[in-house]
Amino acid sequence: MSTVKLPGLIDVHVHLREPGATHKEDWDSGTAAALAGGFTLVLAMPNTQPPITSKAALEEVLQLASQKARCDYAQYVGAGAENVGDLAALAPRAAGLKMYLDQTYGPLRLDDMRHWMSHFEKWPQNRPIVAHAEGRTLAAIILMAELFKRHVHLAHVSKAEEILLIRKAKEKGVPITCEVCPHHLFLTREDARAIGERRSEVRPPLNSLEDQQCLWENLDVIDCFATDHAPHTLSEKDSATPPPGFPGLETILPLLLTAVHQGKLSLDDVVTRLYRRPKEIFDLPDQKDTWIEIDVDQEWMIQARELYSRCAWTPFEGRRVIGRVQRVVLRGNTAYESGRVLAWPGYGQSIREIGIS
Ligand code: NCD
Ligand code: ZN
Ligand code: ZN
């Protein structure tokens, strides 16, 4: 066994489903899954029921999180057509502003570019804007970043044409950063048959091998890895109208460590994209006395029955991986060890609210 110590990992893109869909996940189960995956800080998306688009909704979700979260966290607010004037006041307490610009799970979608512009004008510069924008929508939001000279973080980039456009825009100095998800790095459309067509539904969809290779070839353009942990139950996934999304918190690190073993990237590349860049881009605080311990040589098989996520399945079922989280220490206390989550619900801190009462 060879143990390697890394910083507590940061996932800037998770869906914890509470309020509204706690049969899929809640702040307790989702943050337990985070710790089991090596994450000590998660940023939660606002497409809950109700969506987090108002002061009342933000206060409700922060209250739930303060009682139930086992790891540290912050909560995004969602950009809507009606809430442009209200959000700036919430920015100090928010992870960032999320803009859904293409159809995906949940009701938050902004079609009219006048709304995009209004949010760009009002949302404070010191808090990130994150955009779900695919294909040509991505080109449109990159234009907006350039016109407003305003940083935008691009969620779950998945296609060759997208990563190459981002490279060009970065070369021209457009203030953008981006993330890529494990399922776009480690699965393609070819895997959909084995996983099941309905279960394979995810936004953006699984792509071609060529797209996947292009992501790997342009690793230097990828700022962050993010799971887009999007749990739905198997009965929902197997229904005639499967909701899009995969769980990912507990499988991303072993998948990446396996890729390190294969020489596809270095351990430092992983730490840069799961800790350093997320911390810089999202202006996240130090977590004192916080680290994770990994056995980089342990071989094991991913099995849904061992996972903490309430959704109880994974698209990586049966995959053999090398590298496993042994222990997670969060603010001086062992929060996870040898398969057991030890941090209690409520131990997690709201990182944007430290010092705000
Ligand atoms: C996400 C979800 O289920 O909340 N689904 C997904 O397929 N990625 C929504 C999203 O991130 O677009
Ligand atoms: Zn999305
Ligand atoms: Zn998402």
Q: How far is it, in rounded angstroms, from Cα 331 to Cα 83? A: 36
Note the pLDDT of residue 357. 46
24 lines ligand 1 (CB under 6 A): no
Contacts of 293 (CB under 8 A, 6+ apart): 3, 4, 5, 6, 325, 326, 327, 328, 329
Which residues have a beta carbon within 5 Å of ligand 2, which is an ion? Answer: 104, 132
Q: What is the mean pLDDT of residues 135-152?
A: 98
pLDDT in tens, 323-352: 999 999 999 999 999 999 999 999 999 999
To the nearest 10°, the Cα dihedral for 108, 10, 270, 251?
Answer: -70
Q: Using H for helix, E for strand and C for coil, what is the string for 52-92?
A: CCCHHHHHHHHHHHHHHCCCEEEECEECCCCCCCCCHHHHH
184 lines ligand 1 (CB under 6 A): no
pLDDT beyond 90 at 106: no
Q: What is the mean pLDDT of the chain?
A: 97
Contacts of 240 (CB under 8 A, 6+ apart): none
What's the pLDDT band for 203 if we cut at 50, 70, 90?
Answer: very high
What's the pLDDT band for 309 if we cut at 50, 70, 90?
Answer: very high
* Closest-lying ligand 1 atom to the alpha carbon of residue 203: 7
- Name the closest-CA residue to atom 11, ligand 1: 228
Q: How far is it, in rounded angstroms, from Cα 288 to Cα 281? A: 19
What's the pLDDT band for 104 if we cut at 50, 70, 90?
Answer: confident
Q: How far is it, in rounded angstroms, from Cα 8 to Cα 38? A: 6
What's the pLDDT band for 100 if we cut at 50, 70, 90?
Answer: very high
Q: What is the mean pLDDT of residues 189-206?
A: 97
Burial class from Cβ neighbours inside 10 Å (0-12, 13-18, 19+) for residue 25 reads buried
pLDDT beyond 70 at 303: yes
CA-wise closest residue to 336 among 251, 250, 230, 254: 250
What's the pLDDT band for 107 if we cut at 50, 70, 90?
Answer: confident
Note the pLDDT of residue 355. 60
**Distance from the CA of 3 to the center of ligand 1, in angstroms?**
34
Domains of the chain: 3-341 (3.20.20.140)
* Closest-lying ligand 1 atom to the alpha carbon of residue 155: 11
pLDDT in tens, 246-271: 999 999 999 999 999 999 999 999 99
Q: How far is it, in rounded angstroms, from Cα 78 to Cα 263? A: 39
pLDDT in tens, 219-250: 999 999 999 999 999 999 999 999 999 999 99
Burial class from Cβ neighbours inside 10 Å (0-12, 13-18, 19+) for residue 13 reads buried
pLDDT beyond 70 at 6: yes
Percentage with pLDDT > 70 across the chain = 99
Pocket test for ligand 1, best of 157, 198, 228 (most atoms within 8 A of CB): 228
- Name the closest-CA residue to atom 5, ligand 1: 245
